[in-house]
A and B are shown apart, each in its own frame.
Chain A
Amino acid sequence: MTNKVSKWILWMVLLAVLAVYPKLFGIYYTNLFVTFAVFAIYSVSFNLLLGYTGLLSFGHAMFFGVGGYGTALALKHIHGLPLLPAVLFGLVSAAALALILCPLVVRVSGTAFAMLHLAFGQLLHMLAYKLRGITGGEDGIGGFPIPAFSIPGIVSVNMKAPENFYYFAIVVLAISLWIMWFFTKTPFGQIQVGVRDNAKRIDYLGFKVPQTKAVVYVVSGAFAGVAGSIYALFQNLISSGALDIFTSFAPITMTMVGGLGSFLGPVLGAAIIQMIEELTTRFTEQVELVVGLILILVIVFVPMGAVGLLQILKQKWLVRSAFKASLGKVS
């Protein structure tokens, strides 16, 4: 009972902090937070594949970038498109890409899966880079109109104000996060974990492994698309850089640093990486050196990530307190 109450209090505090965040920290940190939130959702969608289904992808930027391009192109070419349908465009285009690819990719796993994604990811990056007429290449599509968030007749909020955009982004991303969390808690989510641990047994139990993978794949792609879409709106720019290999590796490192297989691990990882990058750019030019060293140190000393570390510490604390309690009983 108290546990439930304290959980509620925790949620309320979190909500309150999120609500007053822009007022407290000012515009710079607000924008930083939006970037963090975008990458957190992107990493969580990636972790649906890696952590929950055991599929490592080297080309997750495909969905991120295509989601961004979907939104940007829709806003550029369709006059007077409202905000939410624009985001929906990003989601649908990324999901459509996943749907097109899934007959090919669900047959394989392991290294072949990773390599196939590298191939398609690079192909898309090159296409975006070279087809300047459509995508704007390296310069990208910028300056497309950002429509106001409006429910006709009730409210209309100007999204060009960073503060308003913050609330919009946070709400959209939180809903995405919740849907993904819910997705992993369904019986279907359990099958997903089963596929990761022992695909053959899941097959024997009568579940369809390729179809399961396909559904997870499309869901993961769709939410990476949402992250990309919000990112494009936030920057008011999407370029071929959003599809490149570094964008593909970002969620891998964030997931590893945060902790593989736990739902909130990637969020924590995104926060850690974001903070490290922010702090290092302030003190030194050598961001690569610091990020590289941190990756090495994490993988050598804390391979289970931050969440794993927290769990171990908690375990130790529990054991110690239990030990003390038993000592107390004896004496």
Chain B
Amino acid sequence: MDPKTAMYVAQGIHGLAYGMLLFLVASGLNIIFGMMGILNLAHASFFMLSAYFSYQFLSMTGNFWLARLLAPVATAFFGILLERFLLRKMHALGHLGELILTVGVSLVILAGVKIFWGTESLPLKIPPLLTGLVSIAGMSYPVYRLFVIGLALAVLAMMALLLYKTRLGKIVRAAVSDADMVNALGINIPLVFMFVFGVGTWLAGVAGVAIAPILLVFPGLADQMGMDAFVVVVTGGLGSLSGAFIVSIIFGLLSSYGVQFLSSLAPLLMFLFMAIVLAIKPTGFFGERE
């Protein structure tokens, strides 16, 4: 392979990996919005919290995989607490109440992280299995990024199965279209919503532990990734999982090729893309909800 094609391919995989990570964060945000109509502005903070948890668990247990598994669960636990004791009261106030509340929660999480772990960047070691390079068709590529792509695909498949092939998924989808009716049929809707919120924050947690070894763990993590994920969800259409997936990939590729060709103007591409899409279709690519 000549160097030019190799560069294109490498940038492509790079973009794909970033797109997949974006999708992991965005999918949680999206599920929570699509199912419950809650715009969770603290989502990225949960993502960051999970990265810190994985660092903490890793230094406590020394086992990479255990930390990996526990951190998202712990994050989801905090998410459920938030839903149960705060967000549930906000329904009467509508979107604005939820927005303000989640902004407040994100600020508290940011402050908490700074108090417990300090402001400096914390490195996270990758186990030997995932370090190093793998050579594909004559060019080498970091294993970890491929692992991230695989992980995201697995999560996507799992979410699709859960939503469309199980009884629980059926209930959740029914609750989306008419919560009152499902409630009247004897299904505990608040519990279902709590579960959905838990899954959403768990997804953020998974993304958090996945990204922790690539970027360092630092308090600005939420800002950096959160804005991008938010943009993805908005552009793809609020509540649309496939929209979020497609837009994540587009953004991943845009950012990696953008850096190659436009360098400093690359971040602009993403927002320009969003502005154009929203100007034409204000609900986003696949969005139906207002």
Contact = CB atoms under 8 A, between A and B. Distances in A.
B290 A292 contact: no
A120 interface: yes
B273 to A, nearest CB: 9
B101 interface: yes
A122 B103 CA distance: 18
Interface residues of A, number: 38
Interface in A282-300: 286, 288-289, 291-296, 298-300
A288 B110 contact: yes
Interface string A230-261: 00000000000000010001001100100010
B207 to A, nearest CB: 20
Interface in B21-48: 39
Given A110-B290, A130-B268, A299 B279 contact: no
A111 B289 contact: yes
Q: Is the interface of B mostly helix, strand, loop or mixed?
A: helix
B111 A289 contact: yes
Contacts of B73: none
A119 B232 CA distance: 11
B247 to A, nearest CB: 13
Contact of B107 (A111, A120, A256, A292): A292
Given A122-B231, A288-B107, A300-B101, A130 B265 contact: yes
Contacts, number: 113
B39 A295 contact: no
Contacts of B111: 286, 288-289, 292
A126 interface: yes
Contact of A245 (B227, B267, B279): B227
The bracket for how many chain B residues form the interface is 35 or more
A126 B268 contact: yes
B95 A56 contact: yes
Contacts of B264: 130
B234 A299 contact: no
A84 interface: no
Contacts of A303: 93, 97
A145 to B, nearest CB: 30
A108 B108 CA distance: 33
Contacts of A56: 95-96, 99
A288 B97 CA distance: 19
Among A260, A292, A303, residue most surrounded by chain B Cβ atoms (within 10 Å):
A292
B278 A119 contact: yes
B92 to A, nearest CB: 8
A96 interface: no
Contacts of B137: none
B275 interface: yes
A293 B104 contact: yes
Interface string A105-128: 001111111011011101100110
A14 B272 CA distance: 47
B282 A291 contact: no
A104 interface: yes
13 contacts: A104-B279, A107-B282, A108-B290, A116-B279, A122-B271, A123-B268, A130-B267, A245-B227, A252-B100, A288-B110, A292-B105, A293-B104, A296-B108
Given A56-B96, A249-B103, A252-B103, 14 more contacts: A112-B290, A115-B234, A115-B282, A115-B284, A119-B274, A119-B275, A120-B275, A122-B274, A288-B107, A289-B107, A291-B104, A292-B103, A295-B101, A296-B108
Interface of B: 39, 86, 89-90, 93, 95-97, 99-101, 103-108, 110-112, 114-115, 227, 230-231, 234, 238, 264-265, 267-268, 271-272, 274-275, 278-279, 282-284, 289-290
